[in-house]
Amino acid sequence: MIARKKEHPDLAYIWSLVTQAIHGKAVLERMEINGRQVKIEGETPSVERIIKILEADEKISDVKVIGSVSSTAKNNNELMKLSMTIHD
């Protein structure tokens, strides 16, 4: 059981961290967890702000934009696709 826990990070912690990072006018459309790799997609007023919040957490590393950031026409939000690695 301990080995399994090391392979799979605490899902409640991941959810808490992501919802804290996107708090406000951001919308999370998809979150994919594969072992320690997490990918999120959605809309936010500032992708840079979300990256800074995620990078500030000691259990998160390798926060990267997947593809490029683009803006939506109707509300000027940025479309985001991010990946990150979770650590113990």
Q: What pLDDT was estimated at residue 87?
A: 87
Instruction: Report residue 4: phi and psi, to 5°.
Output: -65, -45
Domains of the chain, CATH where assigned: 2-86 (3.30.70)
Pairing of strands 60-65, 70-71: unpaired
Determine the average pLDDT of the residues in 49-60. 91
Provide the pLDDT confidence category of residue 7 given band limits of 50, 70 and 90: low
Mean pLDDT computed over every residue of the chain: 84
CA-to-CA dists, residue 56 to 33, 37, 73, angstroms? 20, 17, 30
pLDDT of the residue at 1: 45
Q: What's the alpha-carbon Rg for the chain, to the nearest Å? A: 13
pLDDT tens, residue by residue, 15-46: 888 888 887 888 889 999 998 999 999 998 88
The confidence score (pLDDT) of residue 26 equals 84
